[in-house]
Amino acid sequence: GAVVSQHPSRVICKSGTSVKIECRSLDFQATTMFWYRQFPKQSLMLMATSNEGSKATYEQGVEKDKFLINHASLTLSTLTVTSAHPEDSSFYICSARSTPEYTEAFFGQGTRLTVV
Amino acid sequence: AQSVSQHNHHVILSEAASLELGCNYSYGGTVNLFWYVQYPGQHLQLLLKYFSGDPLVKGIKGFEAEFIKSKFSFNLRKPSVQWSDTAEYFCAVIHTGRRALTFGSGTRLQVQP
């Protein structure tokens, strides 16, 4: 299957700083990318959906000014957690899909964010 | 809003035992259904998917799932599990008009040798 690479896999940052997570589709062009958040022993919760070159669509309850998403190219999307706080500590997973009609999505390995 | 329910949160089996993990969804229209597996320390991988046609779907590693429309279910099965099947299993649904997958809460499968 297609490969989605997410970086970094783990990051620890101080409260109040910003953290950027990258998601790359290595062998296909991702017209749509998704960002999920996973709490311990819970499911993946969709945060936002982004299409290349356009603004992301955020799910209800997700602060778009806090979780900045950029999908500047067909192979790269970034999630920036701004002014991070301990409650932002979580596992963030990106997913990418090649066409709007093709519904199978491929997942990155996730990023464990710890805010201290 | 659509939702996905996985009834078994933690399942412990011995090797060679049969497996069935339940998955029910709430959306009444046309859906596409998926089972993903997450091995320890690894990313989500697709086990199998149902878009249309034969409701009995065969996936990788001996897994299969049956789509029963009248029951809004898509249960995952394997006749004989192996220790290497120890992982977290997620059922997911997508329907037309919604671009992203909706996941169930996951089932942790532990297979004892």
Record: contact B36-A49, CB cut-off 8 A? no
- Identify which of B4, B46, B100 has the shortest CB distance to residue A104: B46
Record: contact B105-A95, CB cut-off 8 A? no
Q: Give the mean model confidence (pLDDT) for residues B5-22.
A: 95
Most B-contacting residue of A107, A109, A111, A112 (CB-CB within 10 A), to test interface: A107
Record: contact A108-B46, CB cut-off 8 A? no
Per-residue pLDDT tens for B66-108?
A: 999 999 999 999 999 999 999 999 999 987 667 788 999 999 9
Q: Measure the CA–CA gap between A79 and A97, rounded to whole angstroms.
A: 17
Q: Give the mean model confidence (pLDDT) for residues B5-28.
A: 94
Sign, CA torsion A111/A22/B3/A100? negative
Amino acid B83: pLDDT? 96
A contacts of B42 (beta carbons < 8 Å): 109
